[in-house]
Structure 1
Amino acid sequence: MKNTERFSNRVENYIRYRPHYPHAIIPALEEQTGLTPNTVVADIGAGTGISSLPFLENGNQVLGVEPNKEMREAAEKALQRYANFTAVAGSAEHTMLPDACADLVVAGQAFHWFNQEAARTEFRRIARGHGWVALIWNERETGTGFEKDYEQLLERYAVDYKTTHHRNVSMKQIAAFFAPAPCREQSFPNAQLFDLHGLKGRLLSSSYAPDAAHPAYAAMMRELEEIFYRHQQQNMVKFHYTTKLYTGQLLP
């Protein structure tokens, strides 16, 4: 399956159950990159629009570049109240955007899918001036009993979890992307609470989770229910995340 098609059948769950980004990334970007409401943002791998939303709420014009048709159409629907959002059919390597059109290029939960060398060349082409780029991830924690059991479930059942997960992107790779300019890393706390229905949706929003047609699906969902009832408090379980923000400039 092509990377650009991995989420085609997961759009509804992705919209409803994926974590958003904490507001704290906005003042951090104001301080680091000079972000203002007048900054034009190119959101690369915009998906269903989750990564575009903090910037739209900040008043920014956002160009949401997304290669997957279903995800892109979902973003257009979800963000239709924002006149400052434009969805663009393109990829990180071929954004279809004009030269020097964006003051800030961002990628939320998407950088690990890119051809990084080609994406760097393309980001430099579409960036204005100093070429500011922000890479953002919600990194799921594995510290609690529930989180450890959930991680083990993924390791048992998720088809290509270990090869496609964003944790496979090292700080060395990120630093190389920005080199020779320095890269700054910041972290912010984030969390989600789910009932059983929401927990199932969260699992199925992941591209590596077996879908209903997979022979392991039923066993996976039974085990997920067991994990939920073992750890639930007041019929809810909690995911903790660390939102990682990497910022730097792409020098010519």
Structure 2
Amino acid sequence: MKSTNTFTNKAELYAKYRQTYPSDYIDYLVSKADINDDCIIADIGSGTGILSKQLLERCFTVIGVEPNDDMRAAAEQSLKSCSRFTSVKATAEETTLHDHSVDFVTVAQAFHWFDIDKFRVECQRILKHDAKVALVWNIRDESSILNKESAAICKKYCPSFTGFSGGMHENPLPFHQFFNAGFEVKTFRNDLPFHLDGFLGRYLSASFAPKKNDKEYNPFINALKELFERYSNNGTIIIPNLTRSYLGEV
């Protein structure tokens, strides 16, 4: 796994401004993964618990596995009233979960940070027979001019920017290497409305975004504000966005 400190000091922004997943996507998971209320789901790289919360709302038992202390603490705080939630400090490659103890694995917005080969072996160890893995991202609609312009801003002011979602568009992930055989790809519309503070917060929550003491911070914010002014309507901007899922066995 890449550095577990990538999102340190960004948990508050992440929890506040990162979007949830469409309800029809959750319906799809429940149907296609053949899971029920008795199932245990391991949400790997669970972050601040965004997907975990949506799964808990469907009455599943969820184990959130997250190595970053700030992100994990945010999830533990927001989900402390959920008796079906367990928080584990561990990595995707070494989850510490028992052999064949999990009915389903989810990975939301995190797979591109993992050592894919080691994670595949770990999934095979913790999953029950014929259980599935779901990899999901909220991703910008690449056909959008707004998203193309925001990517240019990020490239200019964010030294570590390699593309949205870890650059998975520019460098496609080896899904055929990860999944055992065939896997299903499903896309859902999930456009994101923001006021100015949310629009800025969404970008500042990214791993590549500069922090306040970085020299690029103010120019980055100013460029985003100018973009917001050009594309917003009555104080709201819509970021064209998709939820894309990859589901299969490993």
User: Which category of TM-score, normalised to the shorter sequence, fits these structures?
Assistant: over 0.9
Give 1:170's aligned amino acid. Answer: P
Counterpart CA distance in 2 for 1:44 and 1:224 is 32
Give 1:9's aligned amino acid. Answer: N
- Cα offset for 1:37? 2.0
- Cα offset for 1:117? 0.5
Contact 1:124 1:131 in 2 (8 A): no
- Cα offset for 1:95? 0.3
Which residue is 1:186 aligned to?
A: 186
Give 1:174's aligned amino acid. Answer: F
Matched, 1:176 2:177: yes
- Cα shift readout 1:51-96 (whole Å, capped 9, x = no counterpart): 2122111100000000001100100001112111111000110001
Counterpart CA distance in 1 for 2:168 and 2:56 is 25
Indicate how the Cα distance of structure 1 residues 142 and 178 shifts in structure 2: closer, same or farther if over 3 A, else same. closer
Matches within 5 A, 1:102-181: 102-162=102-162, 164-168=166-170, 170=172, 173-179=174-180, 181=181
Instruction: State the Cα RMSD in Å.
Output: 1.5
TM-score, scaled to structure 1: 0.93
- Cα offset for 1:168? 4.8
SS for the counterpart of 1:52 is helix
TM-score, scaled to structure 2: 0.94
Contact 2:158 2:216 in 1 (8 A): no
SS for the counterpart of 2:162 is helix
SS for the counterpart of 1:53 is helix
- Cα offset for 1:178? 0.6
Matched, 1:24 2:19: no
- Cα shift readout 1:180-200 (whole Å, capped 9, x = no counterpart): x21111111102211111111
Which residue is 2:65 aligned to?
A: 65
Report percent identity of matched pairs. 35
Structure 1 unaligned spans of 5+: none
Matched, 1:101 2:101: yes
Which residue is 1:34 aligned to?
A: 34
- Cα offset for 1:169? 5.4
Contact 1:19 1:191 in 2 (8 A): no
Counterpart CA distance in 2 for 1:235 and 1:167 is 30
Single out whichever of 194-203 and 63-72 deviates more from structure 2. 194-203
- Cα offset for 1:39? 1.6
